[in-house]
Amino acid sequence: MSGKFTDPAAIERASMEIIRAELAGRGVALPPENEAVILRAIHATADFDFAENLVFTPGAVQKAVAALKAGADIVTDTNMARAGVSKAALGKLGGGVYCYMADEAVAARARAEGVTRAAVSMNLAAREHPAALYAVGNAPTALLALCELLDRGLRPALVIGAPVGFVNVVESKEKILAACEKYAVPAIVARGRKGGSTVAAAICNALIYTAAGTLDPGDR
């Protein structure tokens, strides 16, 4: 095996070059302002559908990057997504990443009210981190809870809507996108059934690296 393919930075650069070449071969030209996010979603999944599935409200990336530079936190709907976010890079910007799914109080309230922990965790997060970036990669009910919170005045720095699956997934994504557009909240949404915690974390990392000026892995 060539030495350059045992170095993580070299592997990532080569992967991005392959992705760009394949996109060019398909006749796909990515909008420059959204390119880093789309490339990292494809890099995390090897799924080129994200070049078409990811939709952005106007200026979503720029606004999210500005918030991260100002020290914004990130809230995720799963500990898997939280684990995938680069906490070291985010910490250098002054932010942290939080997930309340395993909180005992969240579980107790969810049982008492007959709702999902994801929905309760979003309500708790809205009180603790109202200006955070919200990254949802698993639970449609988290997105639906965010829709209600937006109606009540929550204005996060960004909503990432990327749950994966078959039940309420497509509908919840369309609802959060419409709600974000209504209230001028920046959003990045993976339309359709595809997504996942890996995608949510990848989008977060693309934004973090952009904010930190470390899109090239050699700069991290």
Active site residue 129: no
Catalytic residue (choose from 40, 43, 173, 194): 43
Sequence letter at residue 107: A
Write down the H helix ranges in the chain: 8-25, 35-45, 50-53, 60-69, 79-84, 87-92, 104-113, 117-128, 140-151, 169-183, 197-212
Give the CA distances from residue 202 to residues 25, 126, 145, 152, 185, in Å, rounded to whole numbers and listed in that order. Answer: 24, 22, 23, 29, 20
Residue closest to 209 by CA, chosen among 68, 29, 78, 99: 68
3-state secondary structure of 33: coil
Residues 6+ apart with CB under 8 A from 40: 202, 203, 205, 206
Annotated catalytic sites, by residue? 43
